[in-house]
Structure 1
């Protein structure tokens, strides 16, 4: 495992949700390191486009169209990778969809499909690869969670429920593997990322959506996933605001929930209406196949705009930190009440 942690060339990496967004960015980064990438998603044409880019980047690639909600399809994905390349070194559970709207407004079938994709897709991936890892005595699973695996998100109940469950599942599975030191279960928890996830989202809010500020490029998450592949550890945040929100929710959950709810109301919507849509939740959309969702314009994240986003980010984070600081300083001659 020491050698595998240091080198990624010729390692066999399975990535679900590889047709766009974080999955696509991650596949390209592994390919640049000389890895073999097995690309899985629902969209055949998009997967072939990613495969060509990976080969051009110096890696090898194989396309296996896969719906992660289908357990047999995911087992087939693992079998194809093992048959073609002799084994699997790293498995990235990344496939995900999202639905926005008040809990009572999200249709039952859409709600359940988010859970099937985001939670059961991760479970199916682990079921498919874990026997292989146990036989070999080594392997790395990297589950893509979210900052909302630590704190709730207004208007995103199915996604948040699934990501909380992914966190709990990962922690429980890690305990079951405590006597298997060569097998690692890692988790990456991104904040707001510029991916097509927002373009593919089911939307029942009545308003057009946008990612929360600040928006991070998908390559930041890809770098975090590669870091976990080289040096496995339990979890890794992407975006300081994700870590601070988790800390705030632990120390002062009531205040943190209220601050985040208000920030979402202010910052997650564009100034126009939008019709109700199931987006790409039930059926894959052909549009938006890139790693980026187009929320960061070329050059936007540098210079003045980058500074503005940092100020905006730290202003929002202060909403979490200030109550915690005040709560930790007792007033002279007065008994402090806990804030949580």
Structure 2
């Protein structure tokens, strides 16, 4: 646990006071991209994740981008460790302006094939980790009278698919939990709780996933860059919004699920089977659910660069679903008017 300081002047054109930003899940994927994005704005970033060695790499990347950094290795499933993270941020920097909950682990496979300990660990990290954070940091934000919590949820907090029961349970829970916090914080107009809901993002989470489906998996196209999600997090930290979905196709999925749930159920399963399961058998693995894999931590995993053909196939299926949904909605409107 130590600090990395930028000894250069802040870049010209920065017209805001530097903030203190805590990012959990900062070692990889969306969390790492988000840490970079805040550092580029000259903010002080407190980096938290399980992989201490990786966090040192992320710290150097943030300093190169013009930020100040504190590294606090943290397992968010440990409520005491999360409380210590809050205390460290306040002790070192005097306050917390923005808290980004980006820690998550993932499992893939039928619910009946998923070991109970894997299911529980996904919930412990992806839902209860954010609950521990809220419990620890809200008293600080209440005392300050201001601050923003950004929960990196998922489109899987609004829709569903086969093989992701634990992750869907965690993200649906996180979306609801976020909404309840907003109800309860109405007496603090300058304390905000925001949800950012990405769809499929080009991160190592697919490589990191526990996998009991028996085949290698890949993300459901079209895949968006993690930097786009990071930009959305930075945006809502500055101009809070209750809910932000990242990705056009993801907006479509939410719309179809809400308006025509029967059609969504018919389309989702075949789409997932066709586009996410590769013809490459793999032995069951718990991935990084139990312990991190520092060597594979990165912002991106390269899915977008090798995805053109599958994106076309995915968009064709999504386009068919949209057409079907539009037809159903139009039929309902005509029926009502008739």
Which residue is 2:328 aligned to? 327
Structure 2 partner of 1:261? 269
* Stretch deviating more after TM superposition (241-250 or 62-71): 241-250
Q: Secondary structure at the match of 2:205?
A: coil
Aligned position for 2:278: 270
Q: 1:121 to 1:8 in 2, by over 3 A?
A: farther
1:76 aligns with 2:84: yes
Measure how far apart 1:313 and its partner are: 4.9
For 1:60-139, list aligned pairs within 5 A: 60-139=68-147
The total of aligned residue pairs comes to 323
Cα pair 2:275 2:314 within 8 Å, conserved: no
> RMSD over aligned Cα, in angstroms?
1.9
- Picking from 9, 17, 20, the partner of 2:25 is 17
Partners of 2:94 and 2:282 in 1: CA distance: 48
Q: Distance in 1 between matches of 2:271 and 2:17?
A: 43
TM-score, normalised via structure 1 length:
0.91
- Give 1:91-240 correspondences, 5 Å limit: 91-240=99-248
- Of 16, 25, 35, 1:27 maps to 35
- Cα deviations by residue, 1:110-155 (Å, 9 ceiling, x for unpaired): 0000000000001011111100110111000000111110011210
Q: CA deviation at 1:312?
A: 4.2
Residue 8 of structure 2: aligned partner: none
Match of 2:59 among 48, 51, 58: 51
TM-score, with normalisation over the residues of structure 2? 0.91
Return structure 1 stretches of 4+ with deviation > 4 angstroms: 6-9, 308-313
Contact 1:208 1:274 in 2 (8 A): yes
Residue 309 of structure 1 deviates from its aligned partner by 6.6
| Structure 2 residue matching 1:293: 3-state secondary structure | coil
Paired residue secondary structure (2:161): coil
List gaps (5 residues or longer) in structure 1. Answer: 1-5
Task: Give distance in 1, aligned partners of 2:320 and 2:93.
Answer: 50
Q: Which is further off, 66-75 or 316-325? A: 316-325
In the alignment, the residues of structure 2 paired with residue 120 and residue 7 of structure 1 have an alpha-carbon distance, to the nearest angstrom, of 36
Contact 1:193 1:215 in 2 (8 A): yes
